[in-house]
Amino acid sequence: MQDKEDLEQSLTGYKEKINPLVKGTLEWDKDLIFIGRTGEGYEIEFDGNVQWGCKPTDALLLSLAACMGIDVVMFLQKMKVKLASFMIRITGERNPAPPQYFRKVDMKLIIGGKDIDPKKVERAISLSHEKYCSVYNSLRKDMVVNVEYQLEDKEPAQ
């Protein structure tokens, strides 16, 4: 119980400094190629023909995984979990007819470290999913999201 209270206290202020107004630009380059630029100046290339850049739907799926991954790793670190590796395998199932939104997303978190407590992993996933992952909470409410994890016994880097 004390661990849960400690975690809640350590999360005070998490994501509160995020600017509520997010800006970016999308500029047509050629053919079906567009360059997206974040307000911070980072670039993402999109290509409707998938020859020179990613599809917007791939970027959305990866954004969901990145948002959850950032949350989960940060929560586990705050819970003093010694991580050696972290990867998310993500698969999205889209509606076959337009609009081809994601109906279902499956994520498998592969987490390496020593003596990782599954309860801490479950708590970190729950916090991200229910409260902190902005991308997940911006998507359709009828989208099914399944998250599972696999723990691997690995020595963390020194």
Question: What is the pLDDT, as a whole number, of residue 15?
Answer: 75
In the chain the domains, ranked by start, together with CATH numbers, are 2-153 (3.30.300.20)
| pLDDT tens profile 58-84 | 999 999 999 999 999 999 999 999 999
Cα first-last separation, the chain: 30
| pLDDT tens profile 8-22 | 777 777 777 778 899
Residues facing residue 94 across a β-bridge: 102
- Alpha-carbon distance of 86 to 151, in angstroms, equals 10
DSSP label at 132?
A: I
Which of 62, 21, 59, 53 has its CA nearest to residue 35?
A: 53
- Within 8 A by CB and 6+ apart from 4, the residues are 123
| pLDDT tens profile 85-130 | 999 999 999 999 999 999 999 999 999 999 999 999 999 999 999 9
Strands, sheet with 144-153, edge to edge from the N-terminal-most edge strand: 83-94, 102-113, 144-153
DSSP label at 54?
A: B
DSSP label at 131?
A: I
| pLDDT tens profile 21-51 | 999 999 999 999 999 999 999 999 999 999 9
Question: What is the pLDDT, as a whole number, of residue 17?
Answer: 77
Helices 118-127, 2-10: axis angle to 10 degrees equals: 40
Which of 27, 19, 132 has its CA nearest to residue 75?
A: 132
φ and ψ at residue 12, rounded to 5 degrees: -55, 125
